[in-house]
Amino acid sequence: MRRSADELKKMRRAGRVVAEIHEAIRAGIRPGVTTAELDRISREVLERRGATSNFLGYHGFPATVCTSPNDMIVHGIPGPYRLREGDLISIDCGAIVEGYHGDAAFSVGVGSVSPEAARLMEVTERSLWAGIAKMNPGTRLNEIGRAVQAVAEGAGFSVVREYVGHAIGTAMHEQPQVPNYWPGTPGPLLRPGMVFAVEPMVNAGTAETRVLDDNWSVVTADGKLSAHFEHTIAITEDGPEVLTVL
């Protein structure tokens, strides 16, 4: 799907709201704060901007943000969990403006974290930017995942396979998917107007995952740390344009 200039305007606005939520949550993260409080911060920004949540009610998801600490990879439900000094917390959220979606995620340390946690976050974010750098017209879609994988595995980490990025527009999750690894085929050509959410999930240990009894929270099978970074990016004639920024 290729978006018109008018549609991209709306997606920029949705992306900016997501970036504002990130900024507000980042400012609220400190030891002792509950993950439910981070959801409240997100709801305040959405309301102030007249935007709606694409997470709340998605297949019954009960919040506007996913909060996934430490060995939790994605889809953690905000609640009574209190952030602790040394936690690595992954935050994923989105917004809808005039029917168009934005989606982005980041991981951050609570206070000071272990050198391994810091390196995992740095590498995961760098792998996202390596993928974004491939998002030029004429490139094949799966070059994104190939670049992500090279950075993550080059650092000795592993890339989650079961959860992937996606096209995005009038729905949060559109086809095609964007794997964070080379799937064996090059995939479609990238063309101006296409918009994708690229979102590497990188594990310190094994790539294997497990879903907890709440049927949402995805954790690493070996209990080691995981990090997650995501942006919504449009392909333009001039290359990638990151939409989920202020």
Q: Footprint of Mg ion on this chain (CB under 5 A)? A: 92, 103, 105, 197, 199, 230
Q: Which is nearer to Mg ion, 68 or 139 (CB)?
A: 68
Residue type, 17: V
Report, in Å, the least distance between residue 93 CB and Mg ion.
7
Query: Which DSSP category does 58 fall into?
Result: G
Query: Closest approach of Cβ 89 to Mg ion, in Å?
Result: 15
Sheet containing 218-220: order of strands: 72-74, 218-220, 209-211
Which of 95/197 has CB closer to Mg ion?
197
Cβ-contact 14, 242 below 8 angstroms: no
Q: Return the number of other C-beta atoms located less than 10 Å from residue 109's C-beta.
A: 16
Nearer to Mg ion, 26 or 82 (CB): 26
Smallest separation (angstroms) from Mg ion to the CB of 45: 16
Q: Can you read off the two tokens belonging to residue 103?
A: 């989606």
Compare residues 152 and 164 and give the one whose CB is closer to Mg ion. 164
How many Cα atoms are found within 13 Å in the side-chain-facing hemisphere of 50? 4
Kindly state the smallest distance separating residue 200's Cβ from Mg ion, in Å. 11
